[in-house]
Structure 1
Amino acid sequence: MAAQVIGLTNSNAEGMARRLERLFAQPDWSPGSAPEGRLRSVWRSVRSHAPMAAFHLADVRPAIAARRKAPGEDVISHLLAEGYREPAILIECVTYGAAGMATTREFISMTVLHLLADADLRARYLAGEEEERFDILHEILRLEPIIGHLYRRAARDLDLTVDGETVAIRRGQLIDLYVRQANSDASTVGECPLDMRPGRPLPRGIGPEVMSFGDGHHKCPGNSLAIQETDILLTRLLRHELVVAKAPVMHWEDLTAGYALRDFVLTTPKPPLPVLAVSDERRGPG
């Protein structure tokens, strides 16, 4: 779905998946680490740029060429119409596509785990209208943010006052936005912040997922797509009587406090449950 929205449809999907996997498998790095030696810095640069070059040449460039000849209704066509050059389009494809595909994949697996572990929540999800289903998905995402830390450099001097204490942040200093902690801040999300409470009341301007999609200029541009494609899959998948044949193995990325779920195997020993009506407005590609 994300590939169609972006316009990455002129290369082999399985090959693109492998190239994206290599793109995500970047060398370990600490945002506060000391400067590296020249050889190590060159090696890190080669390791990080080679997968990007492969994604560019095999996936992005063919899509750009196709849309120069025949524009479509997708992100790449829009960027070309706006006069974007190839390097800028590549960055947008990584931002919208690569990051979105990877994070949504992990979120889908985590959501299935929650809904299979809680029969009442699963029944509520399947019986609910779209708004209630989305509330459940957003609450799972609040509790299980795919990226737990965001790192940014201060663009100017800042003085922040919280609970009577002022913290001075100087221009250029590294800021660690601790998403998991923000999402469980009782002063924002209310009492019992670690409980599953879909539709919990929140202050004005705070989304139901709180900081899991970022915020402001750094808010994820594909947030609505991620929730909708997850919902489209789950409303069909969960009609089946599912059995966890193999529980997933969780890998943890220390830098971002992000998770990856692998080798998650489900079986369907029985025919699907009665079909849940889904309005045509929700149906999209895939």
Structure 2
Amino acid sequence: MESTAEDMIAEAVRAGRCRLDDLALHYAVAVTAEVVGLTSSPVPAMSRRLTRFFRQPPFDLARPRLGRTKRQLMGAAYNGLSPVLRFYLADVLPAVRDHRRRPRNDVISQLLDQGAGRADILVECVTYGTAGMVTTREFISMACWHLLEDDPLRARYLAAGQDERLGILHEIIRLEPVVGHLYRRVRDHITVSDEGREHHLAPGDLVDIDVRGANADPASVGTAPLELCPGRTLPRGIGASGLSFGDGAHRCPGRSLALLETDALLTRLLAQEPTILAEPSLGWDELFAGYRLRGSELRLGSA
């Protein structure tokens, strides 16, 4: 993470400027590629292939066939399967062949040791690649935007030790969860109690876990829930990032990695005293029910 961040920031410094979401994308893909073992193809090309997974027509989980027309279903199938095939041929297959010759300490080597087939390896690579890329990319962009807009917070972040810096990042992602909603189907009968009222959920019911709402609940996170307050006092059992990384069996396994790689990049980027040349445009992505930041341009240092 550190060497990749240093190389990418050095390149941006030489150029005198950078587009933040592109920098975050290539960095997140490069780090994820090392963890997974997708190291047999160039990062920029793999980044373009991974972003194609998210070009999907609108959908509604509560409606039959996701509320899509037949034409939209055909478009979704093509938009989903075509990138998977390209990703497999250009990124996964070369990496698998290379790992058979030279095993190493990563996900693909572990899967090969366990006797996993190519289809299983592809599923893991798609899951790790897309999740590690899209969520971390957006969080890096959002965290950087907050720090650039808040001079005292940025000064505190740059002067702090790693534990305090990670605490600041925890608070940012609590306030700005990348995935705003988690949807789950009920498998067994469940009774949920809320403020004295009981709600009975049956198998097949769709549950919408409103992450943004939960993270802004004063009963859970304390006073001023919509303000960025690193180090806020939280009740027992409430994590510093709220539900932004899920919880229990649904907890994101990449939580620590996402925070550490974000910190590694931002400490180096902010040390270059960047200034905002163009504000990002804020959008919403229905596929993962989260925000999308695009177009932020930074000038680095005296350049």
TM over 0.5: yes
Pick the aligned partner of 1:184 from 216, 229, 245.
216
Pick the aligned partner of 2:64 from 30, 34, 38.
34
Q: Contact 1:183–1:189 (CA<8 Å) still a contact in 2?
A: yes
Matched, 1:45 2:77: yes
Pick the aligned partner of 1:6 from 21, 36, 47.
36
Change beyond 3 A, Cα 1:230–1:72: same
Unaligned runs of 5+ in 1: 272-286
The whole-number CA distance in structure 2 between the counterparts of 1:216 and 1:142 is: 17
Moved more, 249-258 or 76-85: 249-258
The whole-number CA distance in structure 2 between the counterparts of 1:122 and 1:42 is: 47
- For residues 155-170 of structure 1, what are the structure 2 equivalents within 5 Å? 155-170=187-202
1:38 shift after superposition: 5.2
Q: Contact 1:22–1:51 (CA<8 Å) still a contact in 2?
A: yes
Aligned residues between the structures: 271
1:193 shift after superposition: 1.0
Render the CA deviation track for 1:5-50: whole Å, top value 9, x for unaligned: 1111111222111111111222221111233565653443222211
Question: What letter is aligned with 2:36?
Answer: I
Question: What letter is aligned with 1:151?
Answer: Y
The whole-number CA distance in structure 1 between the counterparts of 2:107 and 2:286 is: 32
- Aligned partner of 2:300 in structure 1 is 268
The whole-number CA distance in structure 2 between the counterparts of 1:124 and 1:115 is: 10
The whole-number CA distance in structure 2 between the counterparts of 1:37 and 1:3 is: 36
- For residues 55-70 of structure 1, what are the structure 2 equivalents within 5 Å? 55-70=87-102
TM-score (norm 2): 0.85
Higher relative contact order (CA 8 A, sep 6+): 2
The whole-number CA distance in structure 2 between the counterparts of 1:209 and 1:157 is: 29
Pick the aligned partner of 1:148 from 168, 180, 194.
180
TM-score (norm 1): 0.89
Unaligned runs of 5+ in 2: 1-30
Render the CA deviation track for 1:154-190: whole Å, top value 9, x for unaligned: 1111110111111111101111111101111111111
Root-mean-square deviation (Å): 1.7
The whole-number CA distance in structure 2 between the counterparts of 1:151 and 1:211 is: 13
1:138 shift after superposition: 0.7
- For residues 202-217 of structure 1, what are the structure 2 equivalents within 5 Å? 202-217=234-249
The whole-number CA distance in structure 2 between the counterparts of 1:46 and 1:234 is: 37
Change beyond 3 A, Cα 1:201–1:44: same
Instruction: Give secondary structure in 2 for the equivalent of 1:252.
Output: strand
Instruction: Give secondary structure in 2 for the equivalent of 1:31.
Output: coil
The whole-number CA distance in structure 2 between the counterparts of 1:204 and 1:107 is: 26
Matched, 1:257 2:292: no
Moved more, 131-140 or 189-198: 189-198
1:249 shift after superposition: 1.3
Q: Contact 1:149–1:255 (CA<8 Å) still a contact in 2?
A: no
The whole-number CA distance in structure 1 between the counterparts of 2:72 and 2:136 is: 32
The whole-number CA distance in structure 1 between the counterparts of 2:272 and 2:286 is: 35
The whole-number CA distance in structure 2 between the counterparts of 1:217 and 1:241 is: 41
The whole-number CA distance in structure 1 between the counterparts of 2:275 and 2:69 is: 51
Identity rate, percent: 48
**Higher helix fraction: Structure 1 or Structure 2?**
2
Instruction: Give secondary structure in 2 for the equivalent of 1:151.
Output: strand
The whole-number CA distance in structure 1 between the counterparts of 2:43 and 2:72 is: 33
Question: What letter is aligned with 1:27?
Answer: P
Render the CA deviation track for 1:229-283: whole Å, top value 9, x for unaligned: 1101111111122210111112212454311111111002428xxxxxxxxxxxx
Moved more, 161-170 or 38-47: 38-47
Q: Contact 1:27–1:48 (CA<8 Å) still a contact in 2?
A: no
